[in-house]
Structures are given as structure tokens and as C-alpha cells.
Structure 1
Amino acid sequence: MVNILDKAIAAVSPIAGYRRATARAALSILNNGTGYGNYGASHTSRAMRSWHVGGGSSKEDIEDNLDTLRKRSRDAYMGIPLAAGALKTLRTNVVGSGLVPTPQVDADYLHLTEEQADQLQAQITREFNLWADSTACDASGMDNFWRMQTLAFTSFLMNGDAFAAVQYRERPNWPYALQLRLIEADQVCSPGRSDRLAPCKVGGEDVFQIVQGVETNEAGEIIAYWVANRHPLEYDNPVPLAWNRVEAHDPATGAPNILCITQRERAGQRRGVPILAPVLPTLKQMGRYTEAELAAAIVSSSATLFIQRDAETNQAPFGEEPQDKAADPNTPPDELAINLGPAAVFDLAPGEKANLIDPKHPTTTYDGFMSAMSNQVATGIEVPSEVLYKKFSSNYSASRGSLNEFWRTCGVMRDSFADDFCQPTYEKWFAEAVARGRINAPGFFDDPAIAKAYTGCIWNGPARTNLDAKKEIEAAILRMDKGISTAEQETAQMTGGSWRANMRQRKSEMEKIKEVGCDGQTQFQDDPEDDK
């Protein structure tokens, strides 16, 4: 704290007062140089003295920069192959052609026999597929539920979050009214493109803050989303930009009106960050470097020969057809231009010398440099470089280790996506199916515990990549024998299917086999070459 003497000196001589204050601050830093003050928090070490960080809350660090991050992330996806490959690799392996539900009714709690539970689960699967297989579930009428998942997940990766509005629309000759309308992240934004930081009243309710279109009350609870009537970056649309306030939950049932697909990094964070955000600088520089290398390679391959003649002649060089277009005023200028090209030959005027353009490109470290940078990008997005490049050149153990780490990442992202998008949609559909009498679920609307028992579900996605199917199957059998895993879990991991559905299908197949008199056994002989 500044004492009386410091104040007096500053009043008489501001420069002397400033020097005293600076010296006092420096002395305070030196005196406090303990613990992290000597290392990561040091202000005096050469490595750290130029590392100045202002810091801020999740709003200042994240939400205030989202517009730029989204634009750059989308630009990287559209123009940098490595960025596009990273997002598509995650999309293909996390969601693929869509996560498929396997109903898991709590038979014990609902007092159902195993046979009754199986029948109910089969009926639920049939009814849900009826809704999900049709484009009627999409408010735009373009995609079914499976393709909507792929689009929603890709949008989440690219923009940091994605939204889906839950709405109902009756259609002739169709049993369900439930529809989802996907909303791109930019469309959920604050009214007037500015945040309301002071408490105010909206619809008679206290609003504490609106950050990037997310409205919260004083307790920090999300109570509404502000959705623009069109994309804010759509400049040629004559429709004036306006906002609709959509309550986050139905006040009567508490069910969500807006599904938000996101993964938070910090407490208090309201909007998601594009997955490419930490590696955008590296990706952009890699893209520029690749373009430069490609341009240099093209120039190097375009050796051009200039030929000098002692006397004027009308003959074309090396027997090429003469093109007397210069005299024609209608000839486009680009046809008269001399450009570098493979095996290009130009005729020169008398007296000029012939020179061979032989550009050199000394850089030979492109592969090594790009590989090192790609490893950093892969680490930042949790996708092993072997998976990112689809190149498994290491041994079996190393490749399998990379795949296992990748599938950990896929598992986390798949569970999060299922919780944010798939399961809420499934519960919305189930409630409508029960209300319309298409599924018999006594007590569903009476007790949330009963509703949860009916809507238990596992969402299975693309199967794991098997480098050696035989070894993977043997390991799966061993896990089941030791009680480490179940047949349902192993089937979902290895094929993405359902063990129960497989058993029903196998039962039907075995009956058909008996009808035609086959034993159903296929004999294989070991090939000695396989052991080499």
C-alpha cells in the first residue's frame, strides 16, 4: 500500500513517485519468488519475463472470441486437408452412419418377466425405427434421424456446439408429430449481437446475463436461448435480422425445448469451443507451407527451353504447328502470354541467347517437418497420427495401442453426444409414443423413476477397427468367459450390432438350415502360409 511519504513525493514529482512505485513492485516480486514464483509464475526468469497474460473468465477467454474461432475453424475445414481429415475421422468413428439405440428396460423395477421385457424392447425398437428411418423426423424434410446425427456431430466439431429445436407438427397418415430442427451455432446469438450484462426483466422474469445467445438467471441457470430468424452472416437476405426467445425447458414438464450439443472446458462456460481451436495456428502455417512446397515443386518440374536462331524463319520450333494469333486483334491476351509449363519451347528473336531455366528447390525435410507438426496437431485433438493419416506402418502392438487410445477418445465423445442429442430425442419420442397409445407403458407419466426404467437405452456406434480379427475374437471370448464383459457389449464393440438381435436372427437361420438338411457348420483348413 502506498504510504504517506510516497503520496507526498508523487504529488511533488510524479516521475520520482513512479520510480518508487516501480521499484517497490519489483522488490515485492523478488521477495515473493518462492514455489511457483520461481518457475511457472516467475516474472524474472528469461524464459518467462516476456510471457504476459491478462487472463479472464470463461466469457472473456472463450465466448468473446467464438465468432473468430468458428470462422477460422470452418475455413480450415474447407481449405486445409489435415483439418478436414481430422474432423471427418472423428465423425466417421464416433457417429458414423448414426448411433443405434438398444433399449434396456429395467425389468426388475417394472416387475416384468424376461420374456415380457424382450417383447417390449423389440416393440420399442420397431416403433423407434419407424420414426427414425423417415425424413419426417427432420423439420427440413431432408434427413432421417441417422443422417441428422452425422450432420449435428460434424457441426459440433466444426463450431464448438450445435443446437436442435424440438417441435411438433401433425402430418397426414403419419403417427408421430415430433420433429427436430438443427440450428447452426452462429444462429444462437445475443439480440443486437451484444451481451446484456446488467440484470433486467424479460417476460416478467429476472434475467442476469445473456452471453452469446444463452440467457441465465441470477443463480446461473440457463433459462432460454435467443435464436436468430436467419443466419447472421447471410448478407444477401432481405429479411431483417430478428430474434426469438426459446425457453430452455417446457415449464409444464421440464423437458428440454432446445438440445445443446457441447463439451465444456471451464465452470461458468455457456458455449462450446471448436475442437480445432488449440491447433488453428499450427494448421494454418502447415497449410501455407504445403502450398509453398507445392508451388515450388510445380516450378521445378516446369523446365523451359529458350531457343536462339541465327536467322529469321517462319518455322515453328521442333515441328510444332505455327500459331499466328498475334496479328488477330480478337485473340485473348491469355493465349498470347508465355507461361512456364512442362516441356515448353519458346522461339526467340535473332541475337538473343538461349538459356535453360532450371529452378532448384533445396528443401528436403518436408516429410519430416510435416510429420512432426502433424504429431502436435494429433495430440491437440486426441487423434493419434497413425489414425489421422490412416497409415499403420508400425508393428501390431504399436498400431493396436494407437487404436485403443483413439477409441478412448471416441468413447468419451460418443457418450457425450448420446447424452446431449440422442437420449433426449429418444425420451421425447418415447413420451409421444406412449401418449398416442403405440407403446404400452403403465405409470410412465406418473413417476419419473418409472419413466427412466422404460427409457433406459444403450447407444451403439461404429465398430472398433480390428487389425487381427482372430486375435480380437479370442480376446472377446476370454473376457466373456472371465465375466469381464458381456456378449452384448462385445457385439456392440466388434460389429456395432445387437447380440439379442443376432440371436433372434441366428435362431431363424438355424431353423432354415435344418429345413434344407445342412448341418450349418463351415469347415476351414488352416493355411500354412498364414503362420509365416
Structure 2
Amino acid sequence: MVTNKPRIRMTVRDGQQVPVRAYYEGGSTRRRMAGKGTAVTGPNGPIENSLAILQARSHHAIRNNAYAASAKEKYVSNLVGTGIKPQWGDPKIQALWDEWVSESDADGVDNFYGQQALAAGAQFEAGEVLGRFRYRRTSDGLSVPLQLQVVEAEHLDPTYSQTFGNRLIKMGIEFNAIGQRSAYHLWRYHPHENLTSQLNTRVPVPADNVIHMYRRTRPGQLRGVPELTAVIVRLYEIDEMQDATLARQKLAQLFGAFVKRKTSHDPEEEGPYFGELVRKPGEMDQLDEFTPGGIHYLEDDEDVSFSAPPDIQGQYTEWLRTELLAVGAGAGLTYEQMTGDLKGVNYSSIRAGLLEFRRRAEMLQAHLIVHQWCRRVAAKWLDVAVTSSALVIPGYWQKRKQLLAIDWIAPKWSWVDPLKEVSADLLEVRAGLAPRSEKAGERGWSIDLLDAEIDKGNQSADRYGLMLDSDPRRTAKNGGLQKELEALATTEEEDN
């Protein structure tokens, strides 16, 4: 990594060299900004040096911190949910895809949509995830001889960088002479599994057989970082603060009595002299811990004193909320989503928060899940289906681009008040301010599939002679018969 400090421009004033005054406060090097963010780096240097430990800490936080675990679950459930599903234009292709969905996992555990959720969770946790295509024999009994293996990012070593003539390997990724990714050098086994460490070797896998899904935030960035990177320190500090507060409360409950013997003697009283040892030297129990309700005896020259830490109990709740607001912002979630705390929330405020979050979720669905993951899988699957004769499509290579123009439909959003949302959508469509296709898409439907399902329902109702309130061909909005209303309207016109 090449790290340089920015060159400070100097000028001469009163015979001495002094720094040129910065006209932007953010560019100042004086006391207020001294030492803050002065290292100049490219997009990959910090990642190369820190990625392994960032991933380890992110894994640890999600395993042990309830807020981190909740953030991951909300991220996956909102981005993927039950699955982002393709709508193929050809029913024959759609039927074969639906059959292959349950066969897609090379590990034999999930279906394709479960793998989507697994990949999204791994990308949140480690900043990136890999998918590897596994080609199978036609005799294996699969509808299409192809499977997908989801691989953790640790298989791609961020410290492995070399050059071979025109070939460059940077952070485990190999590039050709024109800068295109040509291979990924993957550990054969997970590098942190102890039982395989002695057998592990790197294997170059052609880039065409690997999906590398990560969120790129700077041009030229080669690897991703965990989504919790900006707030990982806060998460650990929240844990430490909660542990300290709990310890203080436990200590406050340790009520006990401390007995200190008198050193004077009353000769009229029987018994041993006060201050006289009733045990031999060395037999007195050492006072090294307090027990609730305990009576602790002190030596003649001993005393007990306690520290008086500041009482922040009244400020703790507000401090925790402020920290969690920052954690939610850093993880891309709302505070209410991450914590489940709906105190003081009303319809307008939660709707505003959800709308902002869903804009981000839709962006990630389109640019991350669909573009980087789903689109690659669909293209490879269709190629293998045709070349293995699972599908017969005359002139396939000329039609390929058209066939891959797929609508990927994400699960519909559930709203806080569906009646208000539907009423608003109806007004927008009737006023010509939005097409039906847009409103259908917001609910997880393509317009063609929605109309096909409505038509199927209408045909079924007609076949069985059903007259439903939901059928606008027969009933009005208020549930009355449409034909009777039309007849009544005609009669009124004739009377007038």
C-alpha cells in the first residue's frame, strides 16, 4: 500500500516559512483538524490491509450482538424475502426454470431463492460473497446439468498479490493485459477451518465461472467491506457499556453488614475481652468478595471504603438510543427496524422512514442482487440448458439477448396502512399520473402476469356461475350489481 501525507504548501512571512492558510476548514492542518484523515490512499490499500480483521470482527459481532444480528436479518428479509423471481417470456423456459430452482444448490440444502438469501446475508456480514458454477453430467438426473455453490469471501485471499508479465493478481483476483478479470485464485477449502489447513491450496478458477457480489463505493474498488464497518466500534462500545451498567446494578444489590470489633474492655461483663482474638492468628477469613445479605467480620485495623463512580443511570437510556440511531444509520436501516422499538412512532413518521429505507433497498435489489447475482445465474443457466439440449430453441444465439430480457420481481412491500396506500394508488392511476404497470411492480407483479391471473380468475368465476363483489365487470364499487345501476341510469336519462 502506498500511503502519503498531503504536501503542506509553505509561504514566507516575516522572514520565516509558515503554512499557507487553508480557505476550506476541512483542508486545514491546524490544531482543530491536526492528524484527522491526513493519510492519502487509493480505493484498495485500506481494504487490503484491514479486510481480514474487519470480516472477523463483523462475524463476531453478528454472532454475539443482538443489534448486529437483527441488522443482518432485516437487511436480508427486505432485500430478498421469499426470493427475487424471474418472469421469462417463454412459458417453456419458465417451466424448466421452476423445475431447476429446487435443484440449484450444489450443497443440496437450499433452493435458488434460499441461496439468494444466503448470499445477501454473507455480503452483509463479510462485505462480499462468491458464487461458483458447478457443471454436472447429463446422467446426474438434473433438469439442467448446472448447479451453484455459494462460497464465503474468505476463500479469496486479500493479501495475495503478484505480477507475471502482463498478468496481474491483485487481492486474489487475476487481470489480463487490458484489465479484465480473468480468474479468481480461491482457497480449495475455507482457510479458517482447522482440519483443512494442512491440505489447502489456491486454485485459479476462470472468472466466467465465478460470481463476485459486492458493493462498490469507489471507482476501482476490487473488494467489498462488511456493511457494519462504519459502526463496528460503536457496537463493541455498546456491549461494554451495557456490561458496566449491569455490573454496577449487581453491585448495588449486595447489601450486607460489616462488623468491626471494639478495642475497649468492660470488666463487669463476662466473656472475652473486646478486641481479644477469638480465633488464632491466620484463621480469619479473608474478605475478597461480597455476598448479598452477608455479615462480614473485619480485623481490628481494617476498614471498608467504596469508590463513587458517576451515576449515569438517568442518562443511559438516551445514550443508548443515540448510539443505536448511529448504528442503524451506518447499517442502512431505520432505528425502529433494527431495535423493534416503536415508542412514539406514528403513521407519518414510520412511513417516511420506511420510504427512505425502501429506496435504498430497491437500489440494492437492482444493482446488487439482480445485476450482479441473478442476471449472471440466469444467463449461465440458459446457455447450459440449450447446449445440453434440455431446451431446444432454434436460432438461440441470435435470440439470446432478447430471451434474457427478464423481469425480476421482488416480493411486494407490506404497508403500515394498506387502505390509505391503495386509495392513493387508485387516485394516481385514475388521474393518469401513474401507469398500472408501476403500481403492479411495487406489489411484486409484472403487469402481464397480473392480468393473466385476473383473467384466469374471471374465467373460473364465469365457469361456475359466481358473482363476486371483487369482479368490477358485474359489481360496482359499493357492491351493487353493475347492470342494475346501468339500467337505472338509462331510465333516469329517458325520464329527463
TM-score between the two structures when normalised by the length of structure 2: 0.77
CA distance in 2, matches of 1:34, 1:288: 39
Q: Are 1:513 and 2:461 matched, yes or no?
A: yes
User: Which residue of the other structure, out of 206, 212, 234, is the alignment partner of 1:282?
Assistant: 234
Q: Secondary structure at the match of 2:149?
A: strand
The one-letter code of the counterpart of 1:137 is S
| Alpha carbons 1:166, 1:258 under 8 Å: kept | yes
Q: 1:338 to 1:182 in 2, by over 3 A?
A: same
Number of aligned residue pairs: give it. 431
Q: Secondary structure at the match of 1:55?
A: coil
- 1:168 maps to a residue whose letter is Y
Q: SS at the partner of 1:167?
A: strand
The CA deviation string for residues 481-508 of structure 1, in whole angstroms up to 9 with x for no partner, is 34554434323423x3445444434434
Q: CA deviation at 1:381?
A: 2.6
SS in 2 for 1:54: coil
Instruction: State how far apart, in whole Å, the 2-side matches of 1:379 and 1:347 are.
Output: 50
Question: How far apart are 1:362 and its partner, in Å?
Answer: 3.0
Out of 428-437 and 415-424, give the one that drifted further. Answer: 428-437
CA–CA distance in 2 between the matches of 1:34 and 1:294? Answer: 47
User: What's the counterpart of residue 69 of structure 1?
Assistant: 54
Residue number in structure 2 paired with 1:236: 195
Per-residue deviation, 1:236: 3.2
TM-superposed deviation, 1:180: 0.7
Secondary structure in 1 aligned to 2:33?
coil
Give distance in 2, aligned partners of 1:287 and 1:276: 15
Q: 1:96 touches 1:462 (CA, 8 Å); kept in 2?
A: yes
Q: Which runs of 5+ in 2 are unaligned?
A: 1-7, 260-287, 480-496
Residue number among 210, 213, 224 corresponding to 1:258 in the alignment? 210
Deviation at 1:35, TM superposition (A): 3.0
In the other structure, the counterpart of 2:164 is: 200
Q: 8 Å contact 1:297–1:361 — kept in the other structure?
A: no
The 5 A counterparts of 1:119-518 are: 120=90, 122-132=91-101, 134=102, 136-170=103-137, 171-189=139-157, 193-196=159-162, 199-201=163-165, 206-207=166-167, 209-237=168-196, 239-248=198-207, 256-300=208-252, 302-304=253-255, 340=291, 345-346=293-294, 362-363=311-312, 364-392=314-342, 393-415=344-366, 416-445=368-397, 447=398, 450-494=399-443, 496-518=444-466
1:249-296 Cα offsets, whole Å, 9 max, x none, are xxxxxxx21111011122221111111111111121112112222333
Q: 2:114 is matched by which residue type in structure 1? A: R
Q: What 5-or-longer segments of structure 1 have no aligned partner?
A: 1-21, 106-119, 249-255, 309-336, 527-532
Partner SS, residue 58 of structure 1: coil
Summarize deviations over 1:403-423 as a string: whole Å, max 9, x none: 100001101111121111111
- Aligned residue in 1 for 2:3: none
Distance 1:217 1:35 in 2: 44
1:35 paired residue number: 23
Which residue identity is paired with 2:124? Answer: L
Deviations 1:325-351 (A, max 9, x none): xxxxxxxxxxxx9985xxx65577899
Looking at structure 1, the residues matched to 67 and 385 of structure 2 have their Cα atoms a distance apart, in angstroms, of 44
SS in 1 for 2:407: strand
The percentage of aligned residue pairs carrying the same residue is: 23
Residues 1:35 and 1:350: Cα distance change in structure 2 (over 3 Å): closer
Cα gap change, 1:298 to 1:345, in 2 (>3 Å): closer
Whether the aligned pair in 2 keeps the contact of 1:155 and 1:162 (CA below 8 Å) is yes
Which residue number in structure 2 is paired with residue 530 of structure 1?
A: none
Q: CA deviation at 1:509?
A: 3.4
Task: State the Cα deviation string for residues 302-339 of structure 1 (Å, max 9, x = none).
Answer: 4555699xxxxxxxxxxxxxxxxxxxxxxxxxxxx998
Query: What secondary structure does 2:32 align onto?
Result: coil
Partner of 1:92: 77
Task: Report if the CA contact (8 A) 1:216-1:224 is conserved.
Answer: yes
Q: Could you say which residue in structure 1 is the equivalent of 2:4?
A: none
Q: 1:46 aligns with which of 12, 15, 31?
A: 31
